[in-house]
Structure 1
Amino acid sequence: MPGLLQSLQEALGNEARPTAIQASSMKHLFKEPVEGDKYKEFLLASETGSGKSIAYLLPVLQDLKRTESNTVTSHSSRKPLNPRALVLAPTHELTRQLASFAKNLSHVIKLRVMCASKANTPSTAKSSGTASKMKGKFEEVGAPSDAEFVISKSSRGSRPVDLLVGTPMKLLEMERGRGWNWEERARERAMRIGKAEEHEDIKEEGGGNKEPPREFWVDEPEMGLENVQWVVVDEADVLFDPDFQESTRMLLADIAAARGQPVPVVPSSAISPTLDSDATPTSAQEISYPFNFILTSATIPTSLSTYLSNYHPSLTRLASPRLHHLPQTLRTEHTSWTGGNKAADIERRIRRVWAEDALVHAKSATGPGPVKLSKVLVFCNKRSKVEQLAAFLDGRGIKCVALTGGAEARKRGSNHHLDGFLKKDGPAPSGPGLSDPAQTPHVLVTTSLLSRGLDFSPMIKHVFIVDEPRNMIDFLHRAGRAGRAGEAGKVVVFGRSKGRGSGRAEEVKQRVRALVG
């Protein structure tokens, strides 16, 4: 479509060529449906940084525009939002970036894109009682967070939307009403009390780790699902893992029911035991959704592969030749701890990166000007480690952004807490202090929260993995935040070269080597 092509050229330039997964997607997903055809079901699997967002957004946006005049909007529910396509992603940051990119691609063809990743917080409680009682209930919940958008009664029916991007729990909240699952969350939290801190706080986005109120109201639903024609599950290996799959499948079943073709909702207890085995459960029944269904992922773990084989056997899998490999432009380096102060080792390695930047600048600079220092992304396993390391570096004159699932900055309804680290369109910012790591953050310290899907700036040329990855899937996602879209990058893996723990470090080194080929 000319308008879509124009936006694509503005984003990528006239000389851009499709990656392997983009070429496969264009070959299969741009075909217009023939009357009587079933809805499309595809898995797009490709290495990190290969442009999977474009691979699914282009066909979805083109079809939405092509069928725009044929769509009969349902008014029976009288709900303010009735989207025609949904994109599900595991974190607030990723939903915002995807929505922004979709807006850029669709600005010429004039489709309406909206992001909904944060919980809408009403300004008044829907509960009778005195003001003091209502105040007490708000204090139980805590201060309301900023919302992506809030729909008031006066604006109902005034927000047409074609594509809505959000986390599964946020979209469930919108279509069932805020607070629909608070009792269940209260029970789950009670069962978790006393357990150790999880080192993967990406799970928070699923809604399971947030403290629920003891008493509150259930709000009216804001979204109808009758018009949904496309559903994209981005980062499907996360959204179909044990921590997310129930909310993901619940939302998919709600969409099918709203469209008049209910599908069975298989309890998690019936699925989880079979995820890591090749055996098809006797109760498995093929699920056929009444909408176009696309999953994307940089990895296909056994659990996801088994689930799709059992419940979506007719789904077409499109995979790039380098699936489960690191980007070819990404180099790996293993470095040893020198002693007990690991934070000091990390600081020294950061300063070495910047020394190398200064050397390159001295050799290539044609005139005076500040050295462009690389941004560094550091992955830890635990929140406490993130906070301790960031505090140490700040004390050493290296300004950091420390981001975990509970960070206050994440509640602002935007990605400004990652300014300078995420990839953005337009000219790079300039000004005094921007090249000084003592004034402007050049280091981002985080957990696996930011390892999924986010497109980081080419200024991030180094990823440090300072804690042993749980598995190679985790490693691939963390390392793949650099060396994206053909850019050069390096992943530095810290470990013990001798003594206790050195055997495990050597095993990690061997497994990483297998991902480079």
Structure 2
Amino acid sequence: MSLSPKVSRPPAKTTPSGRPVGRRTNSPFAGMNQGSADIRREPRARSEAEVKRSSGGRERPKKAKEPFHALKMQKALSAVSYGQRTSIKAKISQTESFDDFPLLPMVKDSIATQALSGMVDLVPTPIQRLAIPVLLGNETRAARRRSSASGKKAMEQFLLAAETGSGKTLAYLLPVLDAIKRAEVMDTELEAQRKVQEEEEERKKANFHALEPPPLSNIPHPTTGRPRAIILVPTSELVTQVGNLTKLLSHTVKFRSGLISSAYSGKVIRNRLFAPTGIDVLISTPHLLASISESDPNILSRVSHLIIDEADSLLDRSFAPSTSTIIDKSTPSLEQLILCSATIPRSLDSYLRKRFPDMRRLVTPNLHAIPRRVQLGVVDVEKEPYRGNKILACADTIWSIGKAAAEHAPGDSERAETKRVLVFVNEREKTQEVAEYLKSKGIEAVALNRDTPEQRQSETLSAFTTIQPKSVPQTSNDSSLSTSSSGSNYIPLNRAPSTVTPPPRRHLPNTKVLVTTDLGSRGIDTLAVRHVILYDVPHSTIDFIHRLGRTGRMGRRGRGIVLVSKNDRRDVVREVKEGMFKGQALI
């Protein structure tokens, strides 16, 4: 056995180039032959001379701290410049009343009598002041002049972007109805049908005493199965909400509308779409309408106005194929394409720039900002008395809200104001768990998710979209949150009696709670909701805006409460709260 001649030599202190050799610390024998146990040594701090040498003798400038650093790590939103917001504020201040819009008299009358009945001060919202004149064509004279010179009217493309609860539905619905009524006067098919009917009536009068019967006319209505305007929304709940508003306006404006969704049977959908009297406005979901247009493409042959409500949802991965198919098939006859949304994500912004580069964007100054009339509170679940029990913190918060209602009318719980609370969770399996726990604590709660039947969904949401006067006593047979005389909650019929939760000892009166996912945060006009509880911190900035946008609608005040645990993003919640206090857009 012979040793290597390098055993007796000390390790080289310098490299062939003259640089010192550092000690290797990544080998299993790197910590041997040391006088002190310096195995987990910290990196040596570099001197100022070494920093200057590495930077070429120049000091690196320190980057300014950007606002909303944590929010930018979430789903990014498209920014709106400060100068553009200032110019829009000056523009919308010029309109003070609905009378300033050049609408038809019948359309103007429907605003006060049907759409906004019961309101004392009828003042248009910022998005209505901004969008209605443009959609009516008052500010596109040059474009109309060019189209008339070419002999063909080009399709107009608009994007309406405004905060939640700002009246976007009425902003696009009034100009569309005005255009439909003006087109009826110039419609040659309707005029031809009217002449045929008049000739038949004259023939009947002339042949009244004749033995032969008058000829029957089997000519269908020109608009049968061929609507003039189509409104696309993502869910059946929004179909019902927009459809109800459209029906109200039809009492004064006199047009025919129909709403179809998966909540209706095939026979009902066929009767509404192919009614003998025709149809002018159709409200539907993209999947259903795209499947119908495959078997009957004639449905989209007469569409002049196509409205895509909640465009950020209808142009994402799940809805984009169906929505794009409807846009492509209706393009030949389309006069106006209107996209409507409360948020503009970066993905939607890039898609619109590629697909519709000439689209005109009508954006309100407060886009991507939660209104300052909505306050945000934070409950730390890790502190006393909850000790990490989030579901207990949720029940205790609701009890605190409910007690405030009883204090307004002590001893008379029937006349106290009913508090309606929305609780948002991230997973649909969690909705039923939270609702059952709240019931065990004496709180009237119901879960709403995709597994809930369609009819039950509409009944549940009806209690949170309408406001009841305080003088109306709350009966025990409520349509959405039924309770028995002993105070127990709604019991599904398919549940065995042995598994029913026993009635709680205490009961919170005049408080109704809806536990839901993002199903209840998109476009639903929850006008009666004053409190929103975020059981789970939302995954993105868009979810923050839509969930907190369920309260403080139409100028009312609201309050949001976030339950924060040790696994939640506290920095995101902190930046959202600071942005709401300053009135800044969450971008």
Q: Assess, with a 3 A threshold, how the Cα gap between structure 1 residues 302 and 18 changes in structure 2: closer, same or farther.
A: same
Which residue identity does 1:482 align to in structure 2? Answer: T
Deviation at residue 389 of structure 1 after TM alignment: 0.6
Counterpart of 2:294 in structure 1 is 176
Which residue identity does 1:422 align to in structure 2? Answer: T
Counterpart of 1:382 in structure 2 is 427
Deviation at residue 360 of structure 1 after TM alignment: 3.8
Counterpart of 1:90 in structure 2 is 234
Match among 551, 557, 561 for residue 488 of structure 1: 557
Counterpart of 2:345 in structure 1 is 301
Deviation at residue 105 of structure 1 after TM alignment: 2.1
Partners of 1:402 and 1:411 lie apart in 2 by 14
Contact 1:61 1:106 in 2 (8 A): no
Does 2:490 align with 1:371? no
Partners of 2:189 and 2:398 lie apart in 1 by 55
Deviation at residue 457 of structure 1 after TM alignment: 2.7
Point out which structure has higher relative CO (alpha carbons under 8 A, 6+ apart).
Answer: 1
Deviation at residue 335 of structure 1 after TM alignment: 0.8
Deviation at residue 156 of structure 1 after TM alignment: 4.9
Structure 2: stretches of 5+ with no match in the other structure? 1-103, 139-143, 191-218, 490-509
Q: Give deviations 1:83-102, integer Å, cap 9, x for gaps.
A: 10001111110111001111
Q: Give deviations 1:44-80, integer Å, cap 9, x for gaps.
A: 1111111111111110111111112323569999995
Partners of 2:125 and 2:223 lie apart in 1 by 40
Deviation at residue 43 of structure 1 after TM alignment: 0.6
Deviation at residue 426 of structure 1 after TM alignment: 10
Query: Where do residues 336-351 of structure 1 align in structure 2 (5 Å cutoff)?
Result: 336-337=380-381, 338-351=386-399
Counterpart of 2:571 in structure 1 is 506
Once structures 1 and 2 are overlaid, which stretch shifts more, 32-41 or 67-76? 67-76
Does 2:405 align with 1:357? yes
Contact 1:42 1:293 in 2 (8 A): yes
Q: Assess, with a 3 A threshold, how the Cα gap between structure 1 residues 418 and 222 changes in structure 2: closer, same or farther.
A: farther
Q: Assess, with a 3 A threshold, how the Cα gap between structure 1 residues 4 and 14 changes in structure 2: closer, same or farther.
A: farther
Deviation at residue 423 of structure 1 after TM alignment: 3.3
Contact 2:414 2:473 in 1 (8 A): no
Deviation at residue 173 of structure 1 after TM alignment: 2.1
Deviation at residue 118 of structure 1 after TM alignment: 1.4
Counterpart of 1:31 in structure 2 is 137
Q: Assess, with a 3 A threshold, how the Cα gap between structure 1 residues 436 and 357 changes in structure 2: closer, same or farther.
A: farther
Partners of 1:300 and 1:350 lie apart in 2 by 33
Deviation at residue 370 of structure 1 after TM alignment: 2.7
Counterpart of 1:266 in structure 2 is none
Counterpart of 1:419 in structure 2 is 462
Q: Give deviations 1:322-364, integer Å, cap 9, x for gaps.
A: 00001232111111112343222111100100112223445xx
Partners of 1:352 and 1:441 lie apart in 2 by 11
Q: Percent identity?
A: 32
Query: Where do residues 328-339 of structure 1 align in structure 2 (5 Å cutoff)?
Result: 328-337=372-381, 338-339=386-387
Counterpart of 1:237 in structure 2 is 312
Contact 2:408 2:416 in 1 (8 A): no
SS of corresponding position for 1:350: helix
Does 2:75 align with 1:6? no
Q: Report the aligned-residue RMSD.
A: 3.0
Contact 1:47 1:324 in 2 (8 A): yes
Counterpart of 2:83 in structure 1 is none
Query: Where do residues 464-483 of structure 1 align in structure 2 (5 Å cutoff)?
Result: 464-483=533-552
Contact 1:24 1:318 in 2 (8 A): yes
Partners of 2:262 and 2:472 lie apart in 1 by 28
Counterpart of 1:165 in structure 2 is 283
Task: Tell me the matched-pair count.
Answer: 407
Partners of 1:426 and 1:226 lie apart in 2 by 46
SS of corresponding position for 1:415: helix
Counterpart of 2:184 in structure 1 is 68
Counterpart of 1:108 in structure 2 is 252
Deviation at residue 38 of structure 1 after TM alignment: 2.1
Contact 2:228 2:303 in 1 (8 A): yes
Deviation at residue 230 of structure 1 after TM alignment: 0.2
Q: Assess, with a 3 A threshold, how the Cα gap between structure 1 residues 162 and 79 changes in structure 2: closer, same or farther.
A: closer
Counterpart of 1:268 in structure 2 is none
Contact 2:424 2:547 in 1 (8 A): yes
Contact 1:236 1:296 in 2 (8 A): yes
Partners of 1:222 and 1:401 lie apart in 2 by 41
Partners of 2:277 and 2:448 lie apart in 1 by 33
Query: Where do residues 136-155 of structure 1 align in structure 2 (5 Å cutoff)?
Result: 149-151=268-270
Give TM-score scaled by structure 1 length. 0.72
Contact 1:48 1:327 in 2 (8 A): no
Partners of 1:467 and 1:82 lie apart in 2 by 45
Once structures 1 and 2 are overlaid, which stretch shifts more, 57-66 or 240-249? 240-249
Partners of 1:361 and 1:245 lie apart in 2 by 51
Higher alpha-carbon Rg? 2
Q: Assess, with a 3 A threshold, how the Cα gap between structure 1 residues 120 and 105 changes in structure 2: closer, same or farther.
A: closer
SS of corresponding position for 1:111: coil
Q: Assess, with a 3 A threshold, how the Cα gap between structure 1 residues 429 and 92 changes in structure 2: closer, same or farther.
A: farther
Counterpart of 1:323 in structure 2 is 367
Runs of 4+, deviation exceeding 4 Å: 72-80, 119-122, 424-431, 434-441
Partners of 1:113 and 1:157 lie apart in 2 by 10
Partners of 1:28 and 1:90 lie apart in 2 by 25
Q: Assess, with a 3 A threshold, how the Cα gap between structure 1 residues 415 and 484 changes in structure 2: closer, same or farther.
A: same
Structure 1: stretches of 5+ with no match in the other structure? 123-146, 178-220, 260-289
Partners of 1:391 and 1:73 lie apart in 2 by 58
Deviation at residue 4 of structure 1 after TM alignment: 1.6
Deviation at residue 401 of structure 1 after TM alignment: 2.2
Q: Give deviations 1:358-391, integer Å, cap 9, x for gaps.
A: 23445xx9x9953213100011111110011111
Q: Assess, with a 3 A threshold, how the Cα gap between structure 1 residues 436 and 450 changes in structure 2: closer, same or farther.
A: closer
Once structures 1 and 2 are overlaid, which stretch shifts more, 476-485 or 77-86? 77-86
SS of corresponding position for 1:420: helix
Deviation at residue 17 of structure 1 after TM alignment: 0.8
Partners of 1:455 and 1:466 lie apart in 2 by 21
Counterpart of 1:286 in structure 2 is none
Counterpart of 1:18 in structure 2 is 124
Which residue identity does 1:242 align to in structure 2? Answer: R
Counterpart of 1:41 in structure 2 is 157
SS of corresponding position for 2:234: coil
Q: Assess, with a 3 A threshold, how the Cα gap between structure 1 residues 31 and 314 changes in structure 2: closer, same or farther.
A: same
